[in-house]
Structure 1
């Protein structure tokens, strides 16, 4: 929902629209907050995916001063502007950083400054705002959320307070009060002309109202677990609804912790009963589950799990093994496959799978495949965590 606040002059000629995410490495509240994992992905990845998938930006940029943030930004499809030390200080404003970006990129006519700390942002909102700027002639648009909060005047000790936005003698019911609009910091769009003048909100100005469930902001650590639950329920996970018919999971390092216990006669491994519960949940959702290993694993392992799952051992080409199962199940596309792996030999399948996950202790190459990164390690509940993620995607149609 958008509402015009003021109009100043005729519509201006539109031009190159750039999305810009500011991601300084020196965050004091949460160190390296912008690439900390939230619901299995770096925080910044959520808004970059929304910006790229909306298809309305001529370019998508991350302004940073940190090597690791640059690496993650490029992994998720953004261009990188290395900001100068002068605009990387604790006291530097967002406006100053955007101005410096424009000095180095004369091709940009309009900037959509998107906050990395708003992980529930969806492409549909960005599409509507881009149309307001490009087609309806607004010079600046910013995001707001509606709150129904009673405000009281702040006073010092001994003074009397007073209500500021309601009458205490006649407190309105929520359904009888429209509430108030507050900036939620999700995004600020403005033309080059305004930003050069030192303004983000001026000219032909409008707000864009976001729904409360998508209005999430992360500032301090206490916000993190709340945001994680909101993202799992309301976040944007990609263009196509998730359809999972088959989960293929590596035994060594996912079902187990990757260790083998050896006595004089047998090899022993351990697994988590929580993971067994997760597999049962997927089976109840009509998801076929298969296990794969590069080692010689006894078929009795899966039979001991008491689950109707198949296993392939001594596998040297995991992609071929998965595609054989796909043929048996009549699956024509990897988009219907979920894959969980942890090692370098899993990378190819992780990249192909429509839904992919890795345990917390997976190798770096596996984690860099746009996978859902679990908080638990292999053999300690990672499969259950990934199963919960898959079920959330299936139930919410994402």
Structure 2
């Protein structure tokens, strides 16, 4: 609704007949939604959208960037697959169960987005983010969305600049000659003397609702682009892309804001879950030195680690003092499902769950694994815990998995610091 009303030429009032002294009604806030299309029937890489990339489901990279951009009123994953739905919910996304009509191999993204908008009438602006773009950052989405929300544009899409010379295709067996399409071979420019060309990289498409429903397109009206840096322009279609993308995301991916508190379930994470019986009838458990070193690494980097021991675990419950002395950590006694005991601690420390890391190993840990900003499970954790976690270790519980997850937490924390520094430099310069 436009509240900027012009005065009537006849009576000095407002065109809608209201008194000029009345306060105009507030402008309706636009509902901005992000939607990631994640069909279960990927042909190139089966269930590609939830396959771990650098330990994190592919879908998780873009969901975290979308959430931390703080630009969206709602974040959705459109899928037809139960396992994808579980992963999406573990990252805090809402799920749109698409119909069979738009879940076929021949279905287009536009058809799926149109169905989503028809089912969600409150959405005014939609941002379609590709799950296969794991190097997307919150800053990319912020800057691009402002072009529509604050600027004159109806749609914006992501591009990358490439310096590649194009030639016409000649069919095999033909005597035709190929011809240059974007250069003069007699005046072949140096890379530094040529601006290159802009190509869609598919990371995201943003547009107003009516473009999709009334015109049947994502790019239209007053349209512009957002240029992404080449190092952030990553797409994954086939298996051969995976190792390259993994190295790229470890260097250029968005790792979140870092955490200051980590909860660690002792049984199955710090230990392998075994109880050793001696001739003297004393129970004992084993703890790997690599894992205790991982705890010290976290503490050194100002991450507080709290050990969780189930009240029903009589063996570990009798060892709380030994655990404190061994690790220098606080030990909490919790119920079998620890969420109700942990929530008050998070609130008392005035933290959000996104500022918390959690490592668990059982289905009962699923609630905390889903809520935590960073969460991990050992390689031998059950499927329910794996689906709820954001990182799956290569090692099993009690055999170095904690050290592996600690390194992951610290890598993300360090990367977050570096990215925050770069964002400050960008704001100062531009």
TM-score by length of 2: 0.70
| Equivalence for 1:8 | none
| Equivalence for 2:154 | 139
Pairing 1:235–2:259 present: no
Number of aligned residue pairs: give it. Answer: 375
Q: Where do residues 196-235 of structure 1 align in structure 2 (5 Å cutoff)?
A: 196-235=214-253
Change (3 A) 1:354 1:28: closer
| Equivalence for 1:72 | 87
TM-fit CA distance, 1:25: 1.6
| Equivalence for 1:49 | 64
Change (3 A) 1:337 1:50: closer
Change (3 A) 1:131 1:344: same
| Alpha-carbon displacement from aligned partner over 1:13-61 (angstroms, at most 9, x marks no partner) | 9954332222212111122222233344332233233334433334333
Aligned partner (choices 153, 178, 181) of residue 198 of structure 2: 181
Give the SS at the match of 1:181: strand
For the residues of structure 2 that align with 1:61 and 1:128, how far apart are their CA atoms?
20
TM-fit CA distance, 1:339: 4.0
For the residues of structure 1 that align with 2:351 and 2:30, how far apart are their CA atoms?
39
TM-fit CA distance, 1:91: 0.9
For the residues of structure 2 that align with 1:81 and 1:346, how far apart are their CA atoms?
25
Aligned partner (choices 85, 95, 112) of residue 127 of structure 2: 112
> Please, which runs of 5 or more residues in structure 1 have no aligned partner?
1-12
For the residues of structure 1 that align with 2:34 and 2:200, how far apart are their CA atoms?
19
Give the SS at the match of 2:198: strand
| Equivalence for 1:259 | 274
Contact 1:374-1:386 within 8 A present in 2 as well: yes
For the residues of structure 1 that align with 2:323 and 2:29, how far apart are their CA atoms?
61
Which protein is bigger by CA-based radius of gyration? 2
| Alpha-carbon displacement from aligned partner over 1:204-229 (angstroms, at most 9, x marks no partner) | 11111112222222212222233333
Aligned partner (choices 72, 77, 97) of residue 82 of structure 1: 97
Contact 2:296-2:327 within 8 A present in 1 as well: no
For the residues of structure 2 that align with 1:162 and 1:301, how far apart are their CA atoms?
77
| Alpha-carbon displacement from aligned partner over 1:282-309 (angstroms, at most 9, x marks no partner) | 4664657676654536799989xxx973
Pairing 1:385–2:400 present: no
Contact 1:290-1:310 within 8 A present in 2 as well: no
Contact 2:124-2:209 within 8 A present in 1 as well: yes
Give the SS at the match of 1:45: helix
Aligned partner (choices 31, 40, 45) of residue 46 of structure 2: 31
Give the SS at the match of 1:242: coil
Pairing 1:92–2:111 present: no
TM-fit CA distance, 1:198: 2.6
For the residues of structure 1 that align with 2:367 and 2:216, how far apart are their CA atoms?
48
Of stretches 346-355 and 174-183 in structure 1, the one that deviates more from structure 2 is: 346-355
Aligned partner (choices 378, 395, 419) of residue 359 of structure 1: 378
Of stretches 383-392 and 159-168 in structure 1, the one that deviates more from structure 2 is: 159-168
| Equivalence for 2:421 | none
> Please, which runs of 5 or more residues in structure 2 have no aligned partner?
1-27, 418-430
Of stretches 57-66 and 181-190 in structure 1, the one that deviates more from structure 2 is: 57-66
| Equivalence for 2:327 | 309
TM-fit CA distance, 1:137: 2.8
Change (3 A) 1:177 1:319: same
TM-fit CA distance, 1:379: 3.5
Of stretches 202-211 and 294-303 in structure 1, the one that deviates more from structure 2 is: 294-303
| Alpha-carbon displacement from aligned partner over 1:304-344 (angstroms, at most 9, x marks no partner) | xxx97347889556799999x99xxxx95667764422135
Contact 2:254-2:416 within 8 A present in 1 as well: no
Change (3 A) 1:252 1:107: closer
- Over the aligned positions, Cα root-mean-square deviation in angstroms equals 4.1
Contact 2:367-2:388 within 8 A present in 1 as well: no
For the residues of structure 1 that align with 2:332 and 2:298, how far apart are their CA atoms?
25
TM-fit CA distance, 1:281: 4.8
Q: Where do residues 263-342 of structure 1 align in structure 2 (5 Å cutoff)?
A: 264=279, 275=291, 278=294, 281-282=297-298, 285=301, 293=309, 294=313, 296=315, 309-310=327-328, 315=333, 332=349, 338-342=357-361
For the residues of structure 2 that align with 1:150 and 1:185, how far apart are their CA atoms?
21
Change (3 A) 1:376 1:226: farther
